[in-house]
Structure 1
Amino acid sequence: MPSVSKKYRKKLDKIHALLSALSFVEKHNTDLTAWAVLALQDDKKRETKARSGSLAKGATIRDILDYCRECGTGYAENTRESLRKHSVKYLVHAGMLISNPDDPSRPTNSAKTNYILHPEFHAILQSKGANNKALIEKWLKHSKQSKPLEWRRDKSLTVEFNGTKLTIHPSKHNLLEKYAIDIFLPALCGKYDVLYFSDTDDKSLHVNKRLDSFLEAKFDVHKKIPDIVVYAERKHVLFFIEAVASSGEIDYLRKAEIDRTFPMQKGIQRRYVSMFLNRKDFRKFSDSIAQGTEAWIVEKPPHVIDISPL
């Protein structure tokens, strides 16, 4: 193990303690992992392989290893694969790092693959005292909620909203809808009214009488309505959510179709959502998702990607 100066040992030990507090996999809570976290906090201007301007804005595996060497670690060239496979990979899986923030559709094996700290994890690293404790508790609570829900094809799923409890068919598609109701919507808009909720076995499982006030014409089961339609009255936002299990992302044609079915209304913001279980699924459709929409990815921790032009 490379020698570490007292200056850096104190910083590394602090990161080790935090990772343990956040229930990071102890086997991979190594100095190399701590160095990766430390490197990605560095916001000094520098040339990087990621062309980001600083490590904090995006660093490749090579950038992180170069930083370690600058700090006197003397890590050998073959450490690069260990850094990738046994440290960075697990930090990404834990939701502490975000891979390819500049291009989420980029394959992870690309030479351009780079990483940044997740904003919430970065906030914990920067916090102190009572605020630090509160942020850690929030992270742990969120992580627990974000663990993949277990389901089997012979075991039904249930979803609850607005005082209604529904039993839905166990499928990947419906599991995504459950995540939307249980995790994303409460976090993004607080109180909301579910106007429409479909099931793979029953397209009209839940139809709120208020739905007609947003439609171009009265509800018809044959209309191509998004999987979930939600209205957040306090925020004046209408959500159109499509759960993408194998197809069904909101591309340009689908967005136009939704706009014809739900005419624009003054004072009401619209959010078009394509929802995915993980980044792998998202990458399959990222090129076809319409600009001006967003993607919700359940992968721990859950996050939202705006699909916008540069």
Structure 2
Amino acid sequence: MKSLPHSKKSEAIAKMLRQALEILEAAGVPVENKSERAQERMAMSFLAVAGVAADWKTARGLDEKRFLKTREVIQFINANFDENISNGSYDDIRRKDLKLLVLAGLVLKSAGNPNAATNDPTRGYSIAPDFVRLIKLYGTDKWKSGLAVFMKDHQMLNEILAGKRNIEKIPVLLPGNKKLELTAGKHNLLQKQIIEEFLPRFGQGCLLLYVGDTANKLLFLEKKALENLNFFELSHDELPDIIAFQPEKNWLFLIEAVHSSGSISEKRMLELSRLTQNCTAEIIYVTAFLTKTDFRKWAADIAWETEVWIAANPDHLIHFDGFKFLGPYESDKK
């Protein structure tokens, strides 16, 4: 059964919510990536639409002409699940709490009036008839066989969404020919360039220890290696986008990939330096951009004693390091 370890509900209510989540997950609704509170709200909204407060056999849906508008969903939740949700939050029911259930075809929107406009007060939500029949089997010896029959005629939403995400991935080649897939987007395109272009040039021999994806903050993580360096708590919200370690020089690269936010400013550098004060490696701070145009937007915010790398000009670094690198370059002239 699903777990809600931090729920403040009574055991009876918490049990119903856990059962609701177990039913939804069995029917293919992806719930794992939602916060515990979001899972609670999804479960309560599902129970409300089904008209279930304590007994799954009481579930009703389209065939029973049970249609609930979003404010009625809130009223049912408040009355049965120890909540005090404002009626003004009705749009959250539609946009967040019931969204995946509607996408999965388990809950039908505008069930009472299929042609109703978005803001029509007659719009209602109802449980699909075949899902009602499945729900009533929960907790009986017919649940598993009933679920198998149900799933023969339904494609799981988590599989549909996974298939869509697999199409919209950016493949990244890691050292050792390992592969990683990032969600599509300019930010992750830049992260790909950092891994494949920056590190081989300026971090030769680096071990990639962490990569955060826009859809999965802990997509790639070498937890033990970071712990061995006394790196700060890995669940912390302040993780940079990419972390790489060069053992030969004992350098730890903290890299921010900047598309719309997140450069290593004086404030960001201070935060990171305090968080890594017990780290046994020497820290190198790098802010990366796709183009010079992007860099110009953020140039005034870049902290001193950091590096800037631009993917469009991959062979060069911009040093915000004062006199450290002052001196003539070797001439090509004979």
Question: Which structure ranks higher in relative contact order (CA pairs < 8 Å, sequence separation ≥ 6)?
Answer: 1
Query: TM-score, normalised on structure 2?
Result: 0.44
Question: What is the TM-score normalised by the length of structure 1?
Answer: 0.47
